[in-house]
Amino acid sequence: MSTTRPLFTAAELDEFSELLKEWPNSAFGNEACEIGVSPFLSFYFPYSPEKHQETMKSIISIHKAFEALLDFPYVIATHPVSEKPYPYSSTRIPDITKLAEKWKIDESFTLNFTDEPNHGYSPSTAGYFWRSATWDGVSNNAYSSILLYYRWSWWLENREQWRNLTLKTIDLLEPHQVYCGLAVANPLEFGARSEAATWERSLAARFYGLDIEFPFGMRDELMDGIRPPTWGFFLSDYWREKLALDREAVQKALNHPNISIKELRTGQWIELGERPSLYPVENGLPELPIIINKVIKPIRHKNLGLIGFGQWSGDPNERFSDIDAERWLGRFDEESDWPLRSARFNSPRNPQYTPHLTAMPAGSQCPVDGWWTTPAKLKSRKFFAKGEIFPDVRTESAKGHIVWLWDNNQGLEQPGGSSDA
């Protein structure tokens, strides 16, 4: 990464931001580095030292279940010992099940899989697995972690299968923390974290709902506090008890028609609305993250290590400082000034903004009356009523999923007027 010139221009930041407003699983970059925002699911969990091999077997079983659910997407894997990347089918990759049986408790265990052959690019689908070492044979020195990335279009079509995997994994691992939302997808190449951290700092000031997920810099610090969720979140009994609340009290505190809570054996799985949202800052403060933030604030980490790479002299690319990291963690607080106090024009006590979905796949129901268009067809602008099914307008030139986008030029025409379709 260059330390003498900016990684991107203001115009490129604007362009990427607009792409994300249309489709939250977008990427931006060049031949050297491409950074993408992606849906993610992360698990942070301890393990009993006497069950260290059983824990590794559980991690491997989760990897195989996720891989099968996404129809075996990987093309690259890293060697568990050297951590060097190889083609996924390479004979240099050992049998991980047999290897796990011999792994020592005082050695960390790493598995990385990705569908992206360019190690400096954000993956579309990836699984990053890490079992922490237990050096003294008694306690974990950090949480173990699993981080999964997957395509937004895949998730929209496979939400129930995804949720089943999530809940089964929680039951198997008994994690202390689980997060699901939208974040910059970390490339396989460790050094590319510099680029990812630079984009995160700029995009986080534009999207309240952009999470920051970097287990390498978080899994030891998260043992001291949680971070504010943006969508899916597991409030484990371990952390709930530190709040001095029983489960019924949590249910009452989060009593909202758009918040769902599922009672599990070791905690409560919480979803803030129907699906993740980036919550653009210009649309105002999001209601649901504010509600849950009030509940978890006493156990929130005060200054989580967000970046993994610090700022160095002469580098023009801004990343999170300790001060801004603390501000970002408290962005859903009533007294917060993130990103600017002047931008927080909606009162948390009376949110004026309820987001609707702005990008919908063909075959889904229209979430709100209005004009929509699809890049798959010229002159496709059309008025849809709430509940109407978006059609599949596939043509020879249109490949992949057909997506209908909310037209920002609403109000120019009313139902009954002419459309482009």
Local confidence band at 313 (pLDDT 50, 70, 90 cut-offs): low
Residue 247 — pLDDT band, cuts 50, 70, 90?
A: very high
In the structure encoding, which two tokens stand for residue 352, read together? 């004026």
The model's confidence at residue 312, banded by pLDDT at 50, 70 and 90, is low
Burial of 77 (0-12, 13-18, 19+ CB in 10 A): buried
Phi, psi (5° rounding) for residue 42? Answer: -130, 145
d(CA 38, CA 71): 18
pLDDT in tens, 131-159: 998 877 778 889 999 999 999 999 999 99
CB 108, CB 133: distance < 8 Å: yes
Q: Cβ atoms within 10 A of the Cβ of 386, count? A: 11
pLDDT at 119: 94
In whole angstroms, give the CA distance from residue 419 to residue 215. 48
DSSP annotation string for 354-403: ----SEEETTSBPSSSEEEE-TTSTT--EEE-TTPBPP----TT--S--E
**CA 37/CA 56 separation, integer angstroms:** 29
- CA pseudo-torsion sign 16, 17, 20, 22: negative
Instruction: Give the pLDDT confidence of 398-417 residue by residue, as tens digits.
Output: 444 577 777 767 765 544 44
- Scanning 213-267, the segments in alpha helix (DSSP H) are 215-218, 237-242, 247-253
Q: With 0-12 CB in 10 A as exposed, 13-18 as middle and 19+ as buried, what is 235?
A: buried
> What confidence score (pLDDT) does residue 316 get?
77
Residue 371: which H helix or E strand, with range? Answer: strand 370-373
CA-based nearest residue to 301, from 229, 371, 205, 351: 229
- Altogether, the residues listed in the chain come to a count of 421
Q: Is the dihedral of CA 236, 237, 241, 244 positive or negative?
A: positive
User: CA dihedral defined by 68, 69, 71, 73, rounded to 10 degrees?
Assistant: -80
pLDDT at 412: 54
| Each residue's pLDDT tens digit, 107-126 | 899 999 999 999 999 999 99
Q: What is the pLDDT of residues 67-113, one digit of tens each?
A: 999 999 999 999 998 999 999 989 999 999 998 888 888 889 999 99
